[in-house]
């Protein structure tokens, strides 16, 4: 039973695919997969005890070849994610992905060992938009998207920001920087330029930082890339001065509890999880699934963790979701509409009718 209408700001499209859909397209396209039933496939793709962020990211290799490069698949995974979220009681979701990692042409290198085809990153965005918009209509929730730059692929970033501009407010609301933070990138000036262009054009900005990386990555995200939200950001607690500053600035942290356990981002002892500190300090944060396929989870899992291990209350869940709506990348008027829906559902305004 969903504890509330919820708002989810951090979920990867390519980390949230239904195993059935992977099997369907694997079969249809003759792409070999590590299993031929849902259980088999999940044995390889999902896992239950912590890996490193780098090892976790390798999981995508097992199934992305079945989806990437296929128009119907790309559209369908977007549509199905909206359905899944609607069923979980999410009324507004921001879905993120790298258009390049779903393409098989006009991308260098062509990802996942695909042979070259004719699906460009631009058309990927178009297809995802269609899937999201069809989903919004059929499942009556709101969905927007965030386009990801990848840490290890600075050469893709100029096109990512151009796609954000082209599709701005046609589903796309923001830019992100995802991928392996622990990896040393010789030159990230392309990421920086892309973020400057995003700021100049009024495109919202979030950055994965302080998940596996040190607080310095969060500083870079905030002060160099002008991030308005931080993906994960747990390690901000290692730098009390920075933490104080970001609390004062009401910086939003996109917290993913179950993910943080499975990627080794946080200690396995949930009693000591950074989100417990965030709650104490009434920080601005949201609760999110991140990659529910790989983590074999849903939004209830993440809410259960903070409830069962940290004693989070309904009151805090309401505050969390109101913060999420406030820090969403919707235009002001739509943000107000979303907030009003939450206030009403939470019994925080008298029913006007």
Ligand X SMILES: O=c1[nH]cnc2c1ncn2[C@H]1C[C@H](O)[C@@H](CO)O1
Write out the residues near ligand X by the rule CB under 6 A.
Answer: 12, 14-15, 57, 60, 96-98, 101, 148, 178-179, 208, 211, 259, 263, 290-291
Separation between Cα atoms, residue 67 and residue 76, nearest integer Å:
10
Separation between Cα atoms, residue 173 and residue 168, nearest integer Å:
6
The question of whether 211 is a catalytic residue gets the answer yes
124 versus 178: smaller Cβ distance to ligand X: 178
Please tell me what DSSP assigns to residue 238.
Answer: G
Separation between Cα atoms, residue 320 and residue 283, nearest integer Å:
9
128 versus 322: smaller Cβ distance to ligand X: 128
Catalytic site residue from 94, 136, 211, 220: 211
177 versus 222: smaller Cβ distance to ligand X: 177
* In the complex, least distance from residue 111 CB atom to ligand X, rounded to whole angstroms: 9
* In the complex, least distance from residue 76 CB atom to ligand X, rounded to whole angstroms: 17
The residues that bridge with 201 in the sheet, in sequence order, are none
- For strand 142-150 and strand 172-178, is the pairing parallel, antiparallel, or unpaired? parallel
97 versus 234: smaller Cβ distance to ligand X: 97
* In the complex, least distance from residue 99 CB atom to ligand X, rounded to whole angstroms: 9
Q: Look at residue 209 and give its three-state secondary structure.
A: strand
Is residue 22 within 8 A of residue 106, CB to CB? The reply is no
Residue found by looking up tokens 């730059």 in the block: 149
Q: HSE of 215 in the Cβ direction (CA atoms, 13 Å)?
A: 12
* In the complex, least distance from residue 42 CB atom to ligand X, rounded to whole angstroms: 17
CB contact burial 221-255 (16+ within 10 A = b; e otherwise): bbeebebbbbbbbbbbbebeebbeebeeeebbbbb
Angle between helices 71-87 and 60-67 (to 10 degrees): 120
Please tell me what DSSP assigns to residue 113.
Answer: G
* In the complex, least distance from residue 94 CB atom to ligand X, rounded to whole angstroms: 12
* In the complex, least distance from residue 157 CB atom to ligand X, rounded to whole angstroms: 13
Separation between Cα atoms, residue 121 and residue 101, nearest integer Å:
8
218 versus 338: smaller Cβ distance to ligand X: 218
119 versus 148: smaller Cβ distance to ligand X: 148
Separation between Cα atoms, residue 189 and residue 201, nearest integer Å:
18
Active site residue ranges: 211
């Amino acid at each position: 039973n969903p504890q509330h209408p919820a708002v989810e700001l951090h979920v990867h499209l390519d980390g949230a695919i239904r195993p059935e859909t992977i099997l369907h397209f694997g079969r249809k396209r003759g792409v070999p997969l590590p299993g031929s039933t849902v259980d088999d496939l999940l044995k390889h793709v999902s896992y239950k005890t912590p890996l490193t962020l780098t090892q976790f990211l390798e999981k995508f290799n097992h199934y992305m070849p079945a989806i990437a490069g296929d128009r119907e698949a790309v559209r369908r995974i977007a549509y199905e994610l909206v359905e899944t979220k609607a069923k979980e009681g999410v009324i507004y979701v921001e879905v993120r992905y790298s258009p390049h990692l779903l393409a098989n042409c006009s991308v260098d290198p062509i990802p996942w060992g695909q042979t070259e085809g004719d699906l460009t990153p631009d058309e990927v965005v178009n297809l995802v938009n269609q899937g999201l918009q069809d989903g919004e209509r059929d499942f009556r929730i709101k969905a927007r998207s965030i386009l990801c730059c990848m840490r290890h692929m600075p050469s893709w970033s100029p096109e990512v920001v151009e796609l954000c501009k082209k599709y701005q407010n046609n589903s796309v609301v923001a830019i992100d920087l995802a991928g392996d933070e622990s990896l040393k990138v010789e030159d990230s000036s392309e990421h920086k330029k892309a973020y400057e262009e995003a700021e100049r054009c009024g495109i919202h900005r979030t950055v994965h930082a302080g998940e596996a990386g040190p607080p310095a990555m969060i500083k870079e995200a905030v002060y160099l890339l002008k991030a308005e939200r931080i993906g994960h950001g747990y390690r901000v607690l290692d730098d009390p001065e920075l933490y104080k500053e970001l609390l004062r600035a009401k910086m939003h942290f996109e917290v993913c509890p179950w993910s943080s356990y499975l990627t080794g981002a946080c200690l396995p002892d949930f009693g000591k999880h950074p989100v417990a500190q965030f709650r104490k300090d009434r920080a601005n944060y949201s609760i999110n699934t991140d990659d529910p396929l790989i983590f074999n989870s849903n939004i209830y899992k993440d809410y259960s963790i903070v409830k069962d291990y940290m004693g989070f209350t309904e009151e805090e869940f309401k505050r969390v979701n109101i913060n999420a709506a406030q820090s969403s990348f919707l235009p002001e008027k739509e943000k107000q509409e979303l907030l009003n829906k939450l206030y009403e559902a939470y019994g925080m305004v008298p029913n006007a009718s």
